[in-house]
Structures are given as C-alpha cells and as structure tokens.
Structure 1
Amino acid sequence: MSKTVRTFLSGASVALGATVAFSGTAQANTELLDQINSYSQDDIAQVNSVFQLSDVSPSDWAFDALRNLVENYNCIVGYPDGTFRGSRPLSRYEFAAGLNACLQQIERMIQSGTGEVTAEDLAALRRLVNEFEAELATLGARVDDLEGRVEFLEDNQFSTTTKLNGEVIFNIGAAFGEDDIDDQVTFSDRVRLNLDTSFTGRDRLRTRLEAGNITAFDDATGVETARLGFDTFTGEDGNDVEIGKLFYRFPVGDNVRAYVGAVGLGLDDMFDVTNPYFDSSGSGALSRFGRFNPIYRGPDGAGAGFNFNLGDKFTVSAAYLAGDGDVNNPAEKNGLFNGSYTAAAQLDFAPSDRIMLSAVYANRYQKSGDINLSGSTGSDWAKRPFMNSVPMTSDNFGLQASWMVSNKLNLAGWVGYTSADVELSGDNRSADIWNWAVNAALLDVGGDGNVLGFIFGQAPKLTGVENSSICDGSSCDDTTYLAELQYRYKLNDNITITPGAYVVFNPNQNDDNDTVVVGSVRTTFSF
C-alpha cells in the first residue's frame, strides 16, 4: 500500500463527492435503499486510473484524493459514460456505501501484508465508523464487524511509521549476433525492498535494500546500447545485499518539495523524466536507453534538490548531486564539491491533463577516470571521446514530451544534446553528442492493464570533435539505432510478465559491425 490510511481518511469525503448532503437523520426506507443498490451495482463502472474519468483533471481541488482512492485502493467507481460527477450532492447512505467498500479493500490489503496504519489513523477510522453507524447498519454492515476490522488493523500493522514494499524481478535473457557474441541464455534476478518512513504524513524517508545478479549485456556484446534497463552493478557479486537508495523527501510550505540524499539519489528521483510508460526499471523499457533521455544520467548519488509548483501548469526543479564514489572521500579532487558532480534544472509545462512538456539542463564535471558522457547507453566514442584519462566538463540539454492521445494511446519522446570540453590547461579539445527517441504505448491490449510498447531512437552519437584526429573524414557519420518491441501482460495486481526484444543497428557507430539482438522475458513481482 503506497499511501497511508490517513491519506484515505482525510480525502475520503472529498473523493467520494465534492458536496455531501447530510440529512441529519437516517431515512431507512425501501426507495432510498433501492437507489443505493442501483448506485452500487447497476449504474457504475470500476475504473483503474483517474484519467479514465473525463470530467476529472489534475487542476481539480479533489484530484489527488480521488487518484489515491482509485489507484491505490481500487474502491471508487464512475458512471458508464466515463464521468465521475463530483459536483452533484451525495447522500449519507451513498457515502456510507463508499466508506464500507473502501474499508473492505483496506482490510484485504492489510491481510495480504502490504498495509500499515498509525494510532492517528485508527482514531480517525473510529470517528468515521461512529459518525455513520446508523447508515452502515441500514446497509447491512454491522458496526461490530467494523470494530473487529479496526482491531485487526491494530494487531497486524507492520509499523506505526514505516511501511515495507518490494519488487522482485526474474529475467530470462540472451544477446544474439555473430560468432563473436556470447549468446548463452541466462536466468537472473533483482530484489529491492523499500522501507518508507513518514514522520508527518507528508514526508518520506526511503531506505532501499537491493541485491541482484542480472547480466549487463555490454560485456557479452561489446556494445553498451545493448544493456538492459534493469541490470545490476552487483551482477558479478552473486546477489550481495547493499543499500541502493537512502534519501529524505519533505514539503516546504504548500508549493515546494525538497530532497536530501546520501546514497543512490538521481535526477530521475526528483525530476519528471516525461516518459510515463517506460521510465521504470521494473515495469518500463527493457533496454537501458529506452527508459529516458540519457541527459538525466551522470555523476549522482548524494546531494539535494527541490520541486517548486508555479500554479497548475508549471513546475521548476533544481538539484545538485555528487558522485557516490567521491562524496565521502576527503582526498583531493573528491568530496561533495570538488569531485565529479551534476548541477541541473528543469522546467515542466502541462498545458492540459493529457500533455506534458519539459526542458532540462545539466552542467557536469567528470574527473579523470570517471568519464561517461552517454550514461552508458551509446557508442564508445560518445561515452569517452578522448579516452578516460582526461577530466571533462559538459553542458547537457534535453527536451521531452508526452501526449495522452486517447484513453488507449500515449506518445512520448525526447531529444538530447551534449557539448563537452577537456578540462586541462592548454587542451582545447571538445566534442558534440546527440541522441533522440520516440515511443508509443497502446493500453489495455488483450486485457485491462496490459501495455503493448514500441520504442525507436538514435543512441548517443559523437557527431564531431574539434582539435582531434577522431572523426576525420566520415568516421563519425554512421549512426547507432535501437528499436524495441515489448508486451507488458498484467497477470494480476502483483505480477507482470514482459516478453520483448530490442535490436541495435550499427553498434558503436559503425555500420560494419553486426546487428545485435537482445531478447528478454522479465517477470516482475511487486508487494
């Protein structure tokens, strides 16, 4: 359960109807009960996403509460015409029916071991039960049963401040090509356990424990564009457990959300990468390049950032991050401010609830030995134009867009540009790197929650350098392209199976290189 019960309790009356018509006394008559039964069974349609409701938009004052109830508790319904009709009056009986349905759903989630409540949550829950005692009794929901549910929540909560959620990936994969590619089929795993702690109900301290042995296919193919989007740095360590993330997120007033992190904090944790159906490593693109613009990848791990909402349409974000390997090292050319770093800012613009646009800029310094200008998604030249022995600074620019064309189709894409310079006295070498991608997500193909996805793009490409022998003549003219096709099948709320494949054409910016094909069947368990 990704939200606390307190969020449900504070938003229940808002999400179930913008105006509650309290009658003051229970009208237990047959006609009214028939209306409630009709409301609860015949004239409603279950929705899996708040965006399925045509008359609800992110600018609505009740949007967050409604989205929480729809997406996290699955106990809110709409009308057959795809509307929610949040402005119409709601009787106490109808509210009690909705309350009872949500209580039952919360109980099921607690029984499955994915929920937690605090003492404050339970007190608020008891107040709601007492307030609607007469209506719940009329509907046949015995108050003593509800009291039993509350006692069950008290006895089975994981923690009063911390909730546990996790993700496990089983992957069967292989890379195929000519004889020089190690094309053995592999079976591997990745495990992540998130401990999310809240002290105020609006903040979150995330501690992630992770382990894995998923192969990075760049070793087998010699091509970093062939990497999986969920491979692990601990792949050769045989599932050694480590702290993958440790950061704290908290509000500052009503419009600012701040972040402070010590381990594993990246720009994609703080910025919206504007690729809603493919950005996740556990349920997004199979390829590393297909997840989001490589501009977001760089020295990171520890630092701070914030999001500042400027009304309903604009958000400004900024962050400073230092490399994991540098930040705790007091030696020269290390530390929080003297080692490799990323300083970035982003502007998001949402002209409607179906369109999202963003522009990102990142300034980076990468010290000698740590050069990686492509985020390990492109050619060797794009990653290290001048090998790994010289420090470099870079200016990185990205434009991203996502458009929900209809309830069944989302289109997204990006373009990224990097201008990099050698940071040595008397060395004026520089390089330009470009990448772009487009993708399409077809929703509910073959069943609710399933996604058929296609991604195509140009992996980071070194387009030219100055004052260097690299790319003389036409040696930089070749372009590496990636095409991915996947089908994300939702077996149930906790298990998703994603078979698919992606093809890397002209690997490492060389059309003489053989095409590389990576096949994968990713099974994701979430709890």
Structure 2
Amino acid sequence: MSKLIWKALLASPAILGAAVVAASPASAQQVSSTTVPSVSALEATGDGSTLSNLDQLNQYGREGRARRANSAEQVTSVSQLSDVQPTDWAFQALQSLVERYGCIAGYPDGTYKGNRAMTRYEFAAGLNACLDRIQELLVTNVADYATKADLEVLKKLQDMFKTELAALRGRVDTLEGRISYLEKTQFSTTTKLTGEAIMMLAGATSANLDDLGDAFSGNNGDDNQVVFQNRVRLNFNTSFSGKDLLITRLQVGNSKGFNGVAGETVLTNQVFGDTGNQFTLDTLQYQFPIGEKGRGYLMANAGVWDDISNTLNPYFEDYDGGRGSLSTFSQRSPIYRLGGGAGIGVKYDFSDNWQLSAGYLAGEAANPRSGDGVGEGGLFDGQFSAMAQLTYTNDAKTFGLGLTYNYSYFGEGEFGFDNAGFVSGFTGTLAANVLPQQDAVTSNSVGLQGYYQFSPKVALTGFVGYTGVDSKGGSFDDADIWYYALGLALPDLGKEGNLGGIFVGAQPYLTNIDGDDVKTDIPLQVEVFYKYAVNDWISITPGVIWQVNPNQDNDNDDVVIGTLRTTFVF
C-alpha cells in the first residue's frame, strides 16, 4: 500500500475530530473530549517495547489464514473477508460502514492484501479507506455525508487499532530506508545467474594419417590417450526493461582436442579449448526489441551465427553445451561456423510462420592494426562474415525449414569452420579447413536445413550445404566444400527428459582443387548417444562416434571416439 495511504491513516484522528464537529455543532464539546490522540500521543501510549508490539501483530496475522484461497479478483463485501470473524464487533462495524459508503475493497482469499503477516494491520488499512471516503463526502458536502454515529464508530475503531498504527509508522520508515539503500547500492534487480558444468571421460583411436598431403602442412599426431576433461559456463543474464537482455558469459575449462584429424573429432565441450582452468570472458552481447516483431543484437565478443538465426535442429542443438549431441558436427550445419566475433544482427518475424535474420560479424574487430595477417584488420578491413536466413515453421512448430546464405572474407591462414577462432576448425576435414596458408580467400556458402516432428517422441532433422572458396593469391583455383547429414531424435526415450540420438553425415570435405596430394573420399560420421536425465539438473550421456575416411582419405584408419559426459546445470 502506498506511502500516501499510510500517512493519511496516521493523520486520520485529526480528520475525525473535524468531521464530528461538522456533523453536530451542538455536540462539539462531547466530541472534542473523546478525540483520538495524535500520532505522537499514540506512540507515547505504547508500552515502550517494539518487540512486544511486533509479536502481537504477528499473532494477529495467523488468524484466518487456513481459509484463504488463491484468487486475486477484488470484491467489495466485508462478509467475504476471513481475517476478522463475523461475530466480532469490529467486523460488524466495518461491514455497516462499507455497506453504507462502499469504501473498502477486499479479495476473495479473505485478505486486504496489505502486510500479510499482520491481519489487524491489514484491517487498519481498510479502516483508512472508509476515512478517506467520509472525508470526500464532507469536502463535497453531499446530502448523505457521514452521521455523528458513524463518526463515533470510526473513532472507536481507531482506539482499538492504535497499537497497530503506532507500529506502522516505524515499520514504514524502516522499510523506506532499506529501499533507498537498495536502490543506491544494487547492481540490477533483474540479473540472473545460470550455469553449466561438464565433466567428460573420453578416448579416441588414432587415424594414422598416411596421406595427409604436403599441400596442407599437417602432421599425423601422436596416439590419443584417454582424457578426463571439464568445462564450466557462468551466464549473467541482465534485463533493464523486461524485454531486453544483456548476456555476460564467463567460461573456464581444460578441454583439448584429439590429435591428427583437425575438426572431425571435436566434441562440444572442446570448442572453447584449454584455458588452464582460468576464467575468461566468452560471450558479451546485448539483445533488444525492435518494435513488436523485431529483435536486434549487439555482439562485443564471441558472437556466433546461431545466436541470431534458428539452426532448425531442436534436439541435437545445445549451442555447444552439454545437454544435446556429443560432437560439434551434429549440433548444427557447418555453415553457421563460418565467421564470428563482434558485430550486429537483426531478426524480424513477418508472421508466426516466416522469419528473416541477418547480420555482420568481424573476427578481428578489436585490433586496429591494418593488414592481411591473422588477427589484423579491425571491424571492416579484416576477416568478416555476412549472413542472411529465411526461416519457415508451421503453426504447430512440428516442421521447420531454413534457407541460408553466407559471404565471408578470410585473410592469410584464417579460413576455417571455426567461428573465426583461427584454429584448424571445429568441424570438417583438415583439407577443408587448412587451405594454402599464403592466400587470402573469399567464400560463398548456401545451406538448407530443417526438421520434422513425426510425434512427440520421434523427430527427423538434417541439413545440406555448399561452400565455394575463391583464392585471392592465385596459389590454387576455386575449390568446393560440401557437407550434409541426417539425424533421428528420440526425445523422452525411457522417461521424460531423456534423449536418444542417431546422426549420420559427411563433415565438410574439399573437392575440385588442383593437386594430386589431395584426396576427395567422402568422410562419413556415425554418432549414437543416449542422454539420461537423472533429474532436472543432472544428466549423464554415454555415446560413440565412428568416422570413416578421416581427412577425406580411405587409406587412413577409421576413428572411433567413446565418451561419457556428465552435465550439471543450475
């Protein structure tokens, strides 16, 4: 209840005195002799023990709570209120005033919705409403203004609740002080912390890459050992208006990728890499509404395309988190990993079915140095990527289809399906990620991805994409890169929250390029996993990934990855 009402309540004794005089001049002396004391007088009449008053109020607050319902629709009949019993004189007196003047509103759950811990305090608030109503009648001098008898009843009720009124003033002042302190010192009333912790046991066989190719300066790598890795994400989600969102993510981990096969064996928790278990700023972005149907994105660090566009992979996709599929390849189409960094994006819903998203991301936006090397060029003169996607989903959201176009520029040694991380790729063969290092390149990519939900427990997902690469240095002619996959998702398999998944496809592989050292065999991947939900916050996911023709070469040994992932969310 507002501060104005409380102060009006505390000042009401003076109003009553004046009202009685106006109601009956002949009885002015009698009314004056029974005037309710002022606020200072009320405070003086207490027993001096604040704790005693509060204990009494808390005792009163326990009355009648057993009969409270859950509705919040207002009513104006005192007989529906359960805080004060109908047999009490106070109840009957207030009922009479309400029926005569219509001066109080209550709720069907039997409370005045004041301080729920003190029922008598709530009752006093209702009394103040009647005082306001009677004062209004006196000011307007209407014919049916308050009678002397009604004023005497109000005075008596004031006397009965003088302890509550005295305590009220002190409690309101204390609360105002606390609120003022919080408003000055709080960071945000709407910042929410969410987190995810992954612990993973994994091992992979070696591909023994006999024909890696001199053109790509790779190395076969040592045999892979069984590893126990971790990664933790802490997300601070802040809203200033209720419709916008500031995302600040801190991330830490020790997850290194397996040797010898570039992005083909990267698991989701290995995307961020090894920080030596030191926290590092990852995502920093601000989202805001644009009218009723649009949304804007400002990305200051680690922006990625799946933040802006729907990847249309509802069960396998977890944004490289620990509650979806195991590998980066099965999370989303590789077209979304071309480019990243800082930039802007926009998403607009033409209707409930059609959506357009677009954006611009620069991988070297923070470096003012001009140049064509790795990490150079700034926001507009270095590595950048521009993408647009048109998405359709049906009304039931059981079918979705997206058409995507991506244009990117990469400086010398920068090309890769790696979110502009300038590593050897988060997905795809080494040949497809490590093009001749001496050339800058441009790429034009198109992708089609979609899903269909046959039933609540069976869904099909898939994508197909093409990337054409054009060398700016003349070291090689244009090259083509293809990728495609199909997945079967079995949500709630065994019990609610579980997920079974089978994913089969070809990771990005290079074709149509000069040089006998480059093989063009199709690198197939088969991934099978089962996520078991221990509860809403803990899941365990065992799985196996089998890769045929690693690095697009059938002379290389198959790779088998086994993993057991445990994920905690909070």
Q: TM-score, normalised by structure 2?
A: 0.63
Question: Could you tell me which residue of structure 2 aligns to residue 442 of structure 1?
Answer: 490
Task: Give the alignment partner of residue 279 of structure 2, picking from 241, 246, 257.
Answer: 241
Q: How does 1:271-420 map to 2 (within 5 A)?
A: 271-280=309-318, 281-282=320-321, 283-323=323-363, 325-333=364-372, 334-353=377-396, 354-372=398-416, 375-385=425-435, 387-420=436-469
Aligned pairs for 1:469-480 (under 5 A) are 469-470=515-516, 476-480=519-523
Which residue number in structure 1 is paired with residue 234 of structure 2?
A: 193
Q: Is the alpha carbon distance of 1:162 and 1:481 closer, same or farther for their aligned partners in structure 2, counting shifts above 3 Å?
A: same
CA distance in structure 2 between the aligned counterparts of 1:145 and 1:414, rounded to whole angstroms: 62
Q: Is the 8 A contact 2:540 2:567 kept in 1?
A: yes
Deviations along 1:458-514, one digit per CA (max 9) or x if unpaired, are 11111212xx2257xxx6441100111110111111111111111111100111111
- One-letter identity of the residue aligned with 1:445: L
**Distance in 2 of aligned mates of 1:294 and 1:203:** 29
Output one character per residue of 1:226-283: Cα deviation in whole Å (capped at 9) or x when no partner. Answer: 1112214441x41121100101000011011000011011101111111111111221
Partners of 1:464 and 1:476 within 8 A in 2: no
C-alpha distance in 2, partners of 1:383/1:512? Answer: 20
Q: Does residue 452 in structure 1 map to residue 452 in structure 2?
A: no
For residues 145 and 295 of structure 1, do their structure 2 counterparts lie closer, same or farther at Cα, with a shift above 3 Å needed?
A: farther
Verify: 1:521 aligned to 2:567, yes or no: no
Matched residues in 1 for 2:413 and 2:105: separation? 65
Shift of 1:312: 1.2
Report the Cα offset of residue 96 of structure 1.
6.3
Distance 1:415 1:241 in 2: 36
More strand by share: 1
The residue identity in structure 1 corresponding to 2:426 is: S
Matches of 1:301 and 1:145 in 2, distance apart? 55
Aligned length: 384
- CA–CA separation in structure 1 for the residues paired with 2:256 and 2:541: 17
User: What's the CA shift for 1:94?
Assistant: 7.6
Cα deviation per residue 1:24-45 (whole Å; 9 max; x = unaligned)?
A: xxxxxxxxxxxxxxxxxxxxxx
Q: 1:326 to 1:252 in 2, by over 3 A?
A: closer
- Cα displacement string for residues 58-114 of structure 1 (whole angstroms, at most 9, x for unaligned residues): xxxxxxxxxxxxxxxxxxxxxxxxxxxxxxxxxx978569xxxxxxxxxxxxxxxxx
Question: Is the contact made by 2:193 and 2:234 (CA closer than 8 Å) also made in structure 1?
Answer: yes
> How much does 1:134 deviate?
2.4
Q: Which residue of 1 aligns with 2:243?
A: 202
CA contact (8 A) 2:550 2:559 kept: yes
Letter matched to residue 213 of structure 1: N
Match of 1:253 among 288, 291, 296: 291
- The answer on whether the counterparts of 1:212 and 1:232 sit within 8 Å (CA) in structure 2 is no
Structure 1: runs of 5+ lacking an equivalent: 1-91, 98-129
Q: Distance in 2 between matches of 1:240 and 1:203?
A: 30
Q: What RMSD in Å do the two structures reach over aligned CA positions?
A: 2.9
Matched-pair identity in %: 38
- The farther-off stretch of 369-378 and 478-487 is 369-378
Shift of 1:144: 4.2
SS of 2:195's equivalent in the other structure is strand
CA distance in 1, matches of 2:106, 2:549: 67
Larger-Rg structure: 2
Map 1:31-50 → 2, pairs under 5 A: none
Summarize the Cα distance change of 1:326–1:306 in structure 2 as closer, same or farther, 3 Å threshold: closer
Q: Distance in 1 between matches of 2:262 and 2:299?
A: 32
Secondary structure, aligned partner of 1:225: helix
SS at match of 2:512: strand
- Per the alignment, residue 162 of structure 1 pairs with 191
Aligned to 1:447, the other structure's residue is in SS state coil
Whether the 8 Å contact between 1:168 and 1:190 is mirrored in structure 2 is yes
Report if the CA contact (8 A) 1:175-1:181 is conserved: no
Secondary structure at 1:135's aligned position in 2?
Answer: coil
Structure 2: unaligned runs, 5 residues or longer: 1-67, 74-103, 122-174, 209-220, 419-424
Normalising by structure 1, report the TM-score. Answer: 0.68
Q: CA deviation at 1:384?
A: 2.8
One-letter code aligned to 1:275:
N
